[in-house]
């Protein structure tokens, strides 16, 4: 009986002071499902220095020199963009190529935008920026001209997953048109965005 009681006491002590602490330590180091998901999101965000996507936009030329009625100077268009984080969380650089038709002209802007991101949360990033663009404009008479432009942008990314979301953007552009007086454009764009 004495041996049996001693073995029982020894077993209890080993369980309390050795087995349970080791198991608890293992549980602490093993990520839970929620912890693993957070770790995946943080890893994806850390390595996602690139964003690419599609822009579908509406445009209004605010004071086109050839159009008196502003409502008749509107267009729909689309394009592609690629963005790279140069200094993570500080400055991003975006290049884009767009296409639309307006006032019997085909317009293809090629833009470079320097953007400052504001990470509100894991799912929401606001940004403001500015940069130059070149509008390649082809008229109905097959004449092509290049028009330099300065753009100011503001927008947001809404991320549904760490790598997929939607980009919504507003762009104000000032065109330095050598053949006509300068005028301005306003873009409202939205489209899917992918981080990688």
pLDDT of residue 93: 97
Strands (E), the chain: 50-61, 74-87, 91-102, 105-119, 124-138, 144-159, 164-175, 183-195
pLDDT of residue 125: 96
pLDDT of residue 41: 54
Sign of the dihedral through C-alpha 42, 46, 47, 48: positive
Mean pLDDT of 82-94: 94
Give the model's confidence band at 193: pLDDT under 50 very low, under 70 low, under 90 confident, else very high: very high
Q: What's the pLDDT tens digit per position in 43-84?
A: 455 546 899 999 999 988 766 555 444 444 788 999 999 999
Phi/psi at 16 (nearest 5 deg)? -70, -40
DSSP state of 88: T
Task: Name every residue whose Cβ is closer than 8 Å to that of residue 169 and which is 6 or more positions away in sequence.
Answer: 55, 153, 154, 155, 156, 187, 188, 189, 190
The candidate with the shortest Cα–Cα distance to 168, out of 182, 159, 158, is: 158
Give the model's confidence band at 11: pLDDT under 50 very low, under 70 low, under 90 confident, else very high: low
pTM listed for this prediction: 0.72
Lowest mean pLDDT, pick from 2-11, 12-21, 71-80, 177-186? 12-21
Mean pLDDT (the chain) is 80
Mean pLDDT of 160-171: 96
pLDDT of residue 184: 87
């Amino acid at each position: 009986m004495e041996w049996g009681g001693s073995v029982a006491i020894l077993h209890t002590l080993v369980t309390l002071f050795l087995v349970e602490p080791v198991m608890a330590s293992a549980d602490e180091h093993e990520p839970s499902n929620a912890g693993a998901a957070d770790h995946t999101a943080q890893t994806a965000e850390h390595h996602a220095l690139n964003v690419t996507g599609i822009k579908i936009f509406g445009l209004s030329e605010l004071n086109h020199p050839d159009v008196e009625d502003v409502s008749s100077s509107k267009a729909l268009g689309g394009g592609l963009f690629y963005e790279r984080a140069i200094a993570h969380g500080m400055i991003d650089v975006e290049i884009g190529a767009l296409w639309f038709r307006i006032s019997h002209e085909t317009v293809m802007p090629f833009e470079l935008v320097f953007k400052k991101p504001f990470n509100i949360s894991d799912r929401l990033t606001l940004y403001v920026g500015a940069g130059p663009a070149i509008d390649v404009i082809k008229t109905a008479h097959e004449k092509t001209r290049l028009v330099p432009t300065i753009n100011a942008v503001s927008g947001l990314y809404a991320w549904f997953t760490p790598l997929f979301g939607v980009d919504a953007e507003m762009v104000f552009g000032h065109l330095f048109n050598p053949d006509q007086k300068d005028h301005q454009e306003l873009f409202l764009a939205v489209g899917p965005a992918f981080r990688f």
